[in-house]
């Protein structure tokens, strides 16, 4: 990467790591927005879930409370960039790099006022014919919509 250095890392705490993490987002996304090239799914986690959790009644079982392991205070990103949609590794890596860069700039600040969410970005068939600028624009558009959604929470 010519011209600039990446100052912020992308630590394990900011990534979706396991299949169960991805399954959690895919099962019931709170946010879904996409365009021709990319699709963004997000599910609230952490304190935002506690606020939405209904008050326990005597009839509800105590085990039906939201999974405690999902309580994170940070945003986490997962990437599903398909070889089916982007044949060349260079293009798949480009999409991943652009998504991480945009996600990092929007959500990885410690002072982020948004509700915490687990986010998955997937490629779509339209990504194959897109230029670098179009991919950047598509990722920016989806994550901007996500920011707007999270501001309202």
Q: Which residue has the higher pLDDT, 126 or 4?
A: 126
Residue 118 domain-assigned (yes or no): yes
DSSP H or E run through 132: helix 132-151
Residue 1 domain-assigned (yes or no): no
Residue 3 domain-assigned (yes or no): no
Residue 126 domain-assigned (yes or no): yes
Write down the mean pLDDT value for the chain: 80
Residue 5 domain-assigned (yes or no): no
Whole domain around residue 76: which residue ranges?
Answer: 12-54+68-151
Residue 25 contacts residue 122 (beta carbons within 8 Å)? no
pLDDT at 12: 83
Q: Return the ∠ at Cα 37 (arms to 32 and 40), rounded to 5°.
A: 20
Q: Which residue has the higher pLDDT, 25 or 7?
A: 25
Residue 62 domain-assigned (yes or no): no
pLDDT at 51: 46
Mean per-residue pLDDT, 25-54: 79
Residue 91 domain-assigned (yes or no): yes
Residue 88 domain-assigned (yes or no): yes
* CA distance linking residue 142 with residue 31, whole number of Å: 10
Please tell me whether residue 101 adopts helix, strand or coil conformation. helix
pLDDT digits (tens, 9 = 90+) for 107-125: 776 666 677 889 999 999 9
Please tell me whether residue 128 adopts helix, strand or coil conformation. helix
Where residue 111 falls (left for φ over 0; alpha for ψ -120 to 50; beta otherwise) is alpha
pLDDT at 7: 54
pLDDT at residue 71 is higher than 70: no
* CA distance linking residue 100 with residue 102, whole number of Å: 6
Q: How many domains does the chain have?
A: 1
Q: Return the ∠ at Cα 146 (arms to 143 and 152), rounded to 5°.
A: 150
Q: Which CATH number fits the domain that encloses residue 33?
A: 3.30.230.10
pLDDT digits (tens, 9 = 90+) for 93-107: 999 999 999 998 887
pLDDT at residue 47 is higher than 70: no
DSSP state of 117: E
């Amino acid at each position: 990467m010519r011209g600039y250095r990446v100052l912020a890392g992308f630590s394990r705490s900011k990534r979706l790591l396991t299949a169960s993490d991805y399954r959690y987002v895919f099962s019931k996304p709170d946010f879904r927005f996409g365009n021709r090239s990319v699709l963004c799914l997000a599910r609230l986690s952490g304190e935002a879930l506690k606020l939405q959790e209904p008050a326990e009644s005597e009839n509800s079982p105590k085990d039906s409370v939201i999974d405690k392991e999902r309580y994170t205070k940070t945003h986490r990103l997962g990437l599903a960039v398909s070889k089916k949609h982007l044949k060349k590794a260079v293009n798949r890596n480009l999409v991943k790099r652009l998504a991480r860069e945009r996600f990092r700039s929007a959500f990885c600040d410690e002072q982020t006022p948004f509700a915490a969410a687990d986010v998955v970005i997937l490629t779509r068939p339209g990504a194959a014919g897109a230029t670098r600028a179009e991919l950047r624009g598509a990722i920016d558009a989806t994550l901007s919509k996500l920011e707007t959604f999270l501001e309202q929470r």
